[in-house]
Amino acid sequence: MDLDNRSVQILQIVASTVKISSKEIMEKYDLTRNQLDYALKKINDYLGENDYRKIIRSRNGSFVVDTKVVDAFSGIMNSESQLKADENSFLDEDHRLLVILLVVFSADYLSLYHFSESLEVSKNTIVSDIKKLKKQLKKHKLTIDYSRKGGYYFRGDEEAIRGLILVVTDQVMDSIYNRLIFEKYLEIQPAEIDAQRKMLRLAEEELQVQYTDNRIQTAPYFLVLLNRRVKNEHFIEQRFGLLAKEIMDTNEYGAIVKVLAGQEMLPKSYTEHLYLCLYILSLKITDLSNIFSLNKDALRTHIETFIAVLEKNTIIQLNDKAQLIENLTLHLTPAYYRIRYGLTSDYTLTDIVKNQLDPLFFIVKSSIAPLEEFFEERIPNDEIYLITMFIGAYMHKEKPINLDNTIVKAAVVCPNGIISSKLLEKTLDNWFPMIHFVSSFSIREFYEKEDMLDVQLIFSTNPLTTELPVIVVGNDLSAMNKTLIVNEVIQLIYKIDSYKLQPDHILSIVKKHLPMTAEAEGKIRKELMISYNSIFQIQDQEILTNETKLNLSDLITKESIIILENELNWLEVLQAATQNLIDREIVEPSYLKHLKEQFPEVTPSILLGNQIVIPHTVPENGALELGMCLAKVKQGFFSQNQTYRYVVVISAIDKKMHIQPMMQLLKIASDPKVIQRLDQAQDKEALLTIIQEFKKA
């Protein structure tokens, strides 16, 4: 059976979107509950006929989707998706708007009649579409205008227009309509794409780099549209100035010009071929074999400084810093061109991922100054989120590699570049201690090295044609998909069906025969999960999420605040604050001894915002529980010719639970108005009132 267009859209959005609800789908597609139920029945019939597990709708209206369905039918990699729109498919409004943007960007003269005929809708619909686009384009400081001589055209900064089209091109590529839009509505010929892809392959050889699979898929389409734009005499303004010389003197610029000239693709305008070179240089790469001409030693030095500031603000020591520095250097090398010259990043993060990252993101952003000093530019938030993802993966205690205890060796295959592949590898590495992950590869690298790999298992975000067992994990390692992935791993490694051993399944049987309270059910589920994970060596660590959701007000309570009236020196203040933790059995007495040895004076490494001193040491020096003590010294104390009034002694027992409280403490330390209010507070209750304002809902 074939699916109708609406069912295709519903299947794609359910497979692509984490935790979307029935209500959201009904609102998005203007459906009644009966219509949605009917569509889901058709979808499940279709999945059943094609040997996929059916989509399950839970009581709260969300959906449980098998990872193989996610991979095959989501918009993540639609160049290989099994859902494709054909020439007879009717575009929905969202994709029709994208077509209008791409056509206005790349065509010469466009009339209302042209849009109406090609998109097969009324002129009134096109007028309405353009009004909607104008509203959306305001945030980019762009608009679409009309003139009798030129038809419809973009008005605004040319760089902003190109940045927008870069994003739109990616959106189209990630849709089921990609072939329909590119071939039918934009009339892009396969020969044009082949020519651009050939050019990029030659650029790879000349630069000794390898672009990611996604870039090789998408970049040629943008380059074809850009070429049309330039032919229609829409040129970039000459804004690079002295910075142009910095790029034009590099070996990379010369190499790309050589390739473009050899393929007869070099624009006549030097600003245009400079823009083209910068775009090619900014494409993601998957290895560090290339040597860019920017000063990598200086970049590494600034990364080291950034990490030192970050460690102070998070009060943790990051693992394997040498490897972290190399991987950040790898990511920030092409990002240098994006950030320094205002090119658009091709990375995208969902709001859900951003919400998970927010506590750590704030601390990373507060520590980013050394990198911004190197780039001599403000680093955009999306780039900081990517750095945050990477840091988050390294914040977990790495399991020691003991090959005697590992059952299989595995590799990770991911087409989305170093950030995504390393994060995926770290996540799986934390989940499965019984597996030794040897490396991560792009799809092309995997096929090139497949015969030489000494592995028994592959984790991939995309289906692969190989004799090795492949577990397709998709690009979203949400909790919703973790159970399915774990089950598949257990079946492959231990040769058993683990479904009937799962805690929820056992609990459902027990509940049929024994009544229990919600509290008892929660405790039993937790113990069953611990036992289940122990049997199969599954770790229950979730990368980047603060599961306990602790706030600063959970750690700084009335019992953990002391107000010191007398005139004291630094070590006396340290003694009083740490004694509070000792008395509450948060730390052992040895903790104080180590603090005094490490910090005989206040040093920059334990200062937040030059206002709050945060002495701390490693958990092995006597930390028993997570805790804090806030000491306010009314008369202040001196150290290193500076006066301080606030000390927060911290006991951290892992690299995760205290991140959100530290974010909130950093916000307090960074806000002079809040510090002034702390100065005015005369008792514990007043201090607590201020601290509780920073509680995250």
Do 590 and 684 have their domain in common?
Answer: yes
Instruction: Assess if residue 420 is contained within a domain.
Output: yes
Nearest to 76 by CA among 378, 463, 345, 396: 463
363 in a domain, yes or no? yes
> Of 290, 315, 332, which residue is a domain's last?
290
Looking at the structure, do residues 384 and 427 belong to the same domain, yes or no? no
Alpha carbon of residue 93 to chain centroid: 28
* CATH number of the domain residue 491 falls in: 3.40.50
Q: Spell out the alpha helix ranges (H) of 67-157.
A: 67-73, 93-106, 112-119, 123-137
Among the candidates 257, 290, 323, a domain finishes at: 290
Residue 333: name the closest of 160, 162, 208 by CA: 208
Are residues 29 and 100 both part of a single domain?
no
Q: Are 63 and 97 in the same domain?
A: no
> How many domains does the structure of the chain reveal?
6
Is the entire prediction scored with pTM above 0.85?
A: no
For residue 122, the surrounding DSSP H or E stretch is none
pLDDT under 70: residue ranges of the chain:
1-2, 5, 17-19, 59-61, 71, 74-90, 238-250, 284-294, 337-338, 340-357, 393-406, 416-420, 423, 474-483, 497-500, 532-549, 655-656, 696-697
In a domain, 63, yes or no: yes
State residue 379's pLDDT score. Answer: 85
Q: Which domain holds residue 413?
A: 408-498
User: How distant, in Å, are the alpha carbons of 194, 359, 364, 653, 663 from that of 658?
Assistant: 51, 10, 15, 9, 9
In a domain, 367, yes or no: yes
Does residue 414 belong to any structural domain of this protein?
yes
Look at residue 105 in the predicted model and tell me its pLDDT.
Answer: 93
- Type and span of the H or E element at 310: helix 296-314
Beta pairing class for 642-651 and 612-613: parallel
Residues 568 and 670 in one domain: yes
Domain for residue 361, yes or no?
yes
Same domain for 312 and 269, yes or no, is no
Cα distance between residue 445 and residue 464, in whole Å? 12
609, 676: one domain: yes
Domain annotation covers residue 395: no
Q: The domain that contains 68 carries what CATH number? A: 1.10.10.10
Is the domain of 578 the same as that of 674?
yes
Query: 153, 144 in Cβ contact below 8 A?
Result: yes
Question: 120 lies in a domain?
Answer: yes
Are residues 271 and 253 part of one domain? yes
Q: Indicate if 574 and 668 belong to the same structural domain.
A: yes
Which of 390, 424, 439 represents a domain boundary (last residue)? 390
Shared domain check, 199 and 178? no
Angle between helices 5-16 and 22-29 (to 10 degrees): 140
The string of DSSP letters for 355-379 reads: HHHHHHHHHHHHT-HHHHHHHTSPP
Same domain, yes or no: 373 and 434: no
